[in-house]
Structure 1
Amino acid sequence: MNPVPWMPAGTVYGALLNFRREHALWAPRMNDAPYKGAPKAPVLYIKTANTFTPAGAAIALPAGASVQASASLGLVMGEGGVAGAVLFNDLAIAHESYYRPPIKARCVDGFLGVGGECVPLAALGGLDGIARLQIGLHINGVHQQTTALADLVRDAATLLADVNEFMTLRSGDVLMLGTDCLADGTRPLVHPGDTVEITAPGFSPTLHSFTQEVAA
């Protein structure tokens, strides 16, 4: 019997602008209205429970939508701190707003592909070991992107500490470290019929297929 795929037991949060390349691309606009300055605290968004798709399942894409795939790693909270980590495919409809993360673009049904296992933090070498990880994203078996966690603006320990200054992460909650963009500022696009695989050392591959949403 196959084990039941791991699924989040709490709230899943993601961090925006937490990779150096994307932060640098947005830097010229950070002084524009309404904020007129770079963010001083982590910019977070929520992936609601309706977005959770277990490992190996299919994700339906809305008709006509341009959907981006993004590899991410999430820290899973336990009773005494970080219990482990999970790979995610954090999907979103392409959009321009990052200071005010659009719910309609990020929280579409099924738009968080969840890895099948939570790997204990100790097995990854702790938070320092996570900083050395590289995450691969493949579409239909073709490598599209490598995300190096060494390129984070706030590494895992720093992001966790900064978030804990203004909110409490409870056991079962997940804090995703962020997603990186490609060199041109975009992210890989997925289409009906595609299969996306996300890989990292120490983790089983995270695989999701994509279908066309059926009109009601």
Structure 2
Amino acid sequence: MSLVKRGTVYGTRMNFRGELDALGAQVNEAPYKAAPQAPVLYVKPANTWTENGGTIALPAHVAEVEVGATVAMVMRSAREIEGFVLMNDVSIPHDSFYRPPVKYNALDGFLGIGDRVRARNEAGDPAVFKLEVRVNGELKQTVRFSQLVRPADKLLADVGEFMTLQPGDMLMLGTDAGRPRVRAGDRVEIKMPALGTLTNLFVAEAA
């Protein structure tokens, strides 16, 4: 394992079949009129980053947030993966999937990041990754990466068609439907044996 060397962090929308299925007919409505033909990406800027074990503050006007348990590829070069790291992609619940405003997913602290990168040859095949998400010790979601629309290598190749990733950049594989919602006072644990456990405590924003 190695420490996380952070470049730009990119999230991926609609890369789980369950997430696409949950949208139903909405994917065929204007202005898009079809499921995405290329990866749909967004940025989690540095102000969102929270360490493993750190607290994530909910703004006063936000009663609950969604927990987006996922794994990110950490890049060694534009096309070479150094390894994988756990992430908790937090967002305010919203209905906009194609172009979600940054006010929903780029708030301060809204990305929990694991503290270690597991090398690809140690982590195993990402197609069989499985995460368990626990809230206050209770299992709330199991995320199976066999359900990806674009598996890790395909996602990386497709992203490389229109942009160049830099060493240290991190590309999330996506978050599945059924994301748990949490409130201030809840403790979230995202666990996978090969990648360890990412823990964050949600708190109310200080007055």
The verdict on a shared fold, with TM-score over 0.5 as the criterion, is: yes
CA distance in structure 1 between the partners assigned to 2:52 and 2:93 by the alignment: 23
Please list the CA deviations of residues 139-191 of structure 1 after superposition, one character each: whole Å capped at 9, or x if unmatched.
Answer: 00000000000000110011011000000011000000000012xxxx21111
Alpha-carbon distance change, 209 to 6 in structure 1, aligned in 2, over 3 angstroms: farther
Structure 2 matches for 1:88-127, cutoff 5 A?
A: 88-125=87-124
Structure 2 matches for 1:50-199, cutoff 5 A?
A: 50-65=47-62, 66-79=64-77, 81-125=80-124, 129-182=125-178, 187-199=179-191
Q: Helix, strand or coil for the counterpart of 1:28?
A: helix
For the 8 Å contact 2:22–2:177, the answer to whether it is kept is no
- How many residue pairs match? The answer is 204
> Identical aligned pairs, as a percentage?
47
Alpha-carbon distance change, 146 to 60 in structure 1, aligned in 2, over 3 angstroms: same
CA distance in structure 2 between the partners assigned to 1:38 and 1:207 by the alignment: 34
For the 8 Å contact 1:74–1:88, the answer to whether it is kept is yes
The TM-score with structure 2 as length reference comes to 0.95
For the 8 Å contact 1:60–1:110, the answer to whether it is kept is yes
Aligned-pair CA distance for 1:13: 0.4
Aligned-pair CA distance for 1:39: 1.1
The TM-score with structure 1 as length reference comes to 0.91
RMSD of aligned C-alpha atoms? Answer: 1.4
Aligned-pair CA distance for 1:11: 0.4
The runs of 4+ residues in structure 1 deviating greater than 3 Å are: 5-8
Alpha-carbon distance change, 134 to 40 in structure 1, aligned in 2, over 3 angstroms: same
Aligned residue identity for 1:92: S
Q: Helix, strand or coil for the counterpart of 1:92?
A: coil
1:31 matched to 2:28? The reply is yes
CA distance in structure 2 between the partners assigned to 1:57 and 1:212 by the alignment: 13
Aligned counterpart, 1:207: 199
For the 8 Å contact 2:58–2:204, the answer to whether it is kept is yes
Aligned-pair CA distance for 1:201: 2.1
